[in-house]
A and B are shown apart, each in its own frame.
Chain A
Amino acid sequence: EIVLTQSPTTLSLSPGERATLSCRASQSVNTYLAWYQQKPGQAPRLLIYDASKRATGIPARFSGSASGTDFTLTISSLEPEDFALYYCQHRVKWPFTFGGGTKVEIK
């Protein structure tokens, strides 16, 4: 099973600041990696797929990048609605797995 390790667990930032979230895979997942945002009481929402492609309707301040088995989600300038939980997910082979999540909270 491929393990995805997200860091940090919690990120405390202010609106307008840049957020950098990390996801490291225990083995190659190529670019079969996605990022999801989840707000309290809501289902997750697809933000980024194929490591760097924005899903439909996702603002340009969200971007994804990859370097080997290291993946990064960047939010260029945090808006109030961006404070939430973020998960990475791979789907290179079954079992598909999620990272443990990073909470972006207001400082």
Chain B
Amino acid sequence: QVQLIESGGGLVKPGGSLRLSCAASGFTFSDHYMSWIRQAPGKGLEWVSYISVTGSAMYYADSVKGRFTISRDNAKNSLYLQMNSLRAEDTAVYYCVRESYYDGSGYFSDSWGQGTRITVSS
């Protein structure tokens, strides 16, 4: 079955860096767009970043542009998020999400990891 396992979360000081990883299994990773979506404590969902199957196209929320970098390694079935210059407002659970193409309907986020928690605090 589809598994997305995030790692790399933790406590970091403002201005610090973290690298999140997501290990994918149970499907052909290289066939899927992938996303990072986050949820601040007690808040709603925010799309952070989105990457194409080859990694040639990447999209970022304005709130993280210039600070976060999404990447993938299809040989390792892995997705990454390099987070620099972290701020208190980046505190959230970060989900690794698989995007699937539904014929005639477009791409939708159909599988989610359990998330990894990032806390940015001094």
User: Do the beta carbons of A32 and B47 come within 8 Å of each other?
Assistant: no
Is B108's CB under 8 angstroms from A46's CB? yes
Check B61 for interface membership: any CB of A closer than 8 A: yes
Q: Check A49/B105 contact, CB under 8 A, given A98-B44, A98-B47.
A: yes
Q: Is the interface of B mostly helix, strand, loop or mixed?
A: strand
A interface secondary structure, majority: loop
| Closest B residue by C-beta to A50 | B105
A43-B114, A94-B50 given; A32·B106 CB < 8 A:
yes
Given A32, A50, A87, A91, which contacts B45 in the complex, CB threshold below 8 Å?
Answer: A87
CB-contacts of B97-122 with A (<8 A): 102, 104-110, 112-115
> How far does the alpha carbon of A32 sit from the alpha carbon of B105 in the complex, in Å?
7
Interface residues of A in 84-106 (CB under 8 A from B): 87, 89, 91, 94-101
CA distance A46 to B108 in the complex (A): 8
- Is A44 interfacial (CB 8 A cutoff)? yes
Cβ of A91 and Cβ of B106 under 8 Å apart? yes
Q: How near does chain B come to A33, taking the closest CB pair, in angstroms?
A: 9
Q: How many contacts A-B (CB < 8 Å)?
A: 56
* Size class of the B contact interface (CB-based, 8 Å): 20 to 34
Is A61 at the interface (CB under 8 A from chain B)? no
A95 CA / B60 CA spacing, docked (Å)? 8
Q: Kindly list chain B residues whose C-beta atoms are within 8 Å of the C-beta of A42.
A: 114
What's the minimum C-beta distance from A43 to chain B, rounded to whole angstroms? 4
CB distance from A100 to the nearest CB of B (A): 5
- Give bound CA distance, A31 to B47, whole Å: 19
Q: B68 near A: Cβ within 8 Å?
A: no
Interface core residue of B46, B47, B59, B115 (most chain A CB under 10 Å): B47
Some 10 contacts from A to B, beta carbons below 8 A apart, are A31-B105, A44-B45, A44-B112, A53-B105, A55-B110, A95-B47, A95-B59, A100-B44, A101-B44, A101-B45
Q: Point out residues on B near A: beta carbons under 8 Å.
A: 44-47, 50, 59, 61-62, 95, 102, 104-110, 112-115
